[in-house]
Amino acid sequence: MISSNIVHEIRAFNRFYTNVIAVLDQDVLKSNFSLAEARVLFEIERLQPCSARKIMEVIIIDEGYLSRIVKKLVAKNYITKIRSDHDKRLYLLKLSASGVRQMRRLDELANQATFGLIERLTADQTKTLLENMQHIQNLLNFKT
Amino acid sequence: MISSNIVHEIRAFNRFYTNVIAVLDQDVLKSNFSLAEARVLFEIERLQPCSARKIMEVIIIDEGYLSRIVKKLVAKNYITKIRSDHDKRLYLLKLSASGVRQMRRLDELANQATFGLIERLTADQTKTLLENMQHIQNLLNFKT
DNA sequence: TCTTTTTACTTGATTTTGTCAAGTAATTTA
DNA sequence: TAAATTACTTGACAAAATCAAGTAAAAAGA
């Protein structure tokens, strides 16, 4: 049944992990990027050159909101936005040189925050943690 | 080193799980409570009778913002707020009868959303998922 | 004591963040 | 080639969150 123990334990994990993520996010916010901006930048870094549409396949975000974030990042010269020759409805996004520098900063912040999670674990524990995470990712990899 | 593979894989999991939680949250938002309100209600349910201060020990939230959320929940008669006799600076919060009903609805929504995560898994896979989650929780528990 | 500091909460003003719906233009489909 | 779909933009809002200044009570320090 829906209110089974299993569901409750998953919810307990979700509450727990929501806090884990919230703590990590606190640190990333020190970068002067909003969470949404940071996530968009991370995805552009990973997927570049990519369209806004492509980003929306990966993170849940309103189309108009994303459009404005992209506009802002272009205005600040952290990304470039060039109309695709192949399909003129889309614009290809890439980090600019300055964006690459920003990402190094952001990346270092996120790495440090994440490292804080595991610094007290032994090598074995860390390995186990990772395996568990990857296992969960495989089990839930649904792409809702 | 801080930018090790391990940190990167943990970050990949965090990105992934951020989306999982976002998908579940979408459903909870159908309750007409904001995420912040839902979390506050959830903590009041767990901790009642409790002060706003007590809630702030558990969730990361601005004091003024919380004060307004409490005000709104009182106005809608989902919680009661009674000045403490022992310490007149604080107010004890509890779910009202109507709040209890709301929480049952909220709970059912959250259960259904969570069930959606696992409905396609076999019993064995679900069991493994849960074990992985509990293992992660145990490994990271000292923090956050 | 009393007076200074800390704690709990509130409120006004504002900013930031996110949503909705309507609109343009390019591409695909029937 | 008309209709539908896709990619993106924009204006108008609404919701969410922050900041700082304020009140009142309690605790701590002299």
State whether B93 and B39 are in the same domain. yes
CA geometry: angle B108, B24, B130, nearest 5 deg: 85
| Per-residue confidence (pLDDT) for residue B18, from 0 to 100 | 87
| Total residue length of chain B | 144
Q: Could you report the per-residue pLDDT of B87-97, keeping only the tens digit for each? A: 999 999 999 99
State whether B51 and B77 are in the same domain. yes
Domain tally, chain A: 1
Residue B11 covered by a domain: yes
State whether B43 and B85 are in the same domain. yes
Give the pairing type, strands A79-83 and A91-95: antiparallel
Chain centroid to CA B36: how far? 8
- Secondary structure of residue B76 in the 3-state scheme: coil
Tens-binned pLDDT, residue by residue, of chain B (144 aa): 555 889 999 999 998 898 888 888 888 888 889 999 999 999 999 999 999 999 999 888 999 999 999 999 999 999 999 999 999 999 999 999 999 999 998 888 889 889 988 999 999 999 999 999 999 999 997 543
Helix (H) or strand (E) segment spanning residue A80? strand A79-83
Residue B136 covered by a domain: no
* Contact yes or no for A114 and B14 at CB 8 A: yes
State whether B3 and B61 are in the same domain. no
Q: Which amino acid is at A26?
A: Q
State whether B20 and B76 are in the same domain. no
State whether B68 and B92 are in the same domain. yes
State whether B87 and B25 are in the same domain. no
- Secondary structure of residue B32 in the 3-state scheme: coil
In this structure, what CATH number is given to the domain that contains residue A121? 1.10.10.10
Contacts of B114 in chain A (CB under 8 A): 7, 10-11, 14
Average pLDDT, chain A: 91
In strand D, the nucleotides that come within 7 Å of a protein beta carbon are 6-12, 15-21, 24-27
Q: Which range among A65-69, A84-88, B27-31 shows the weakest confidence by mean pLDDT?
A: B27-31
Q: How confident is the model at residue A1 (pLDDT cuts 50, 70, 90)?
A: low
Q: Could you report the per-residue pLDDT of A8-58, keeping only the tens digit for each? A: 999 989 988 988 888 888 888 888 899 999 999 999 999 999 999 999 999
* Contact yes or no for A114 and B26 at CB 8 A: no
Distance CA B102, CA B95 (A): 9
A19–B contact, CB cutoff 8 A? yes
Q: For B87-102, give the secondary structure using H, E and C.
A: CCCCEEEEECHHHHHH
Average pLDDT, chain B: 91
State whether B25 and B59 are in the same domain. no
| Per-residue confidence (pLDDT) for residue A18, from 0 to 100 | 85
| Both tokens assigned to A77 | 């010269």
Distance CA B144, CA B141 (A): 7
Q: Is the pLDDT of residue A143 over 80?
A: no
Residue carrying the six token digits 């990027």: A33
Angle at which helices B35-47 and B63-75 cross, to 10°: 80
State whether B22 and B41 are in the same domain. no
Domain enclosing residue B56, as ranges: 32-107
State whether B36 and B97 are in the same domain. yes
Q: Is the pLDDT of residue A118 over 60?
A: yes
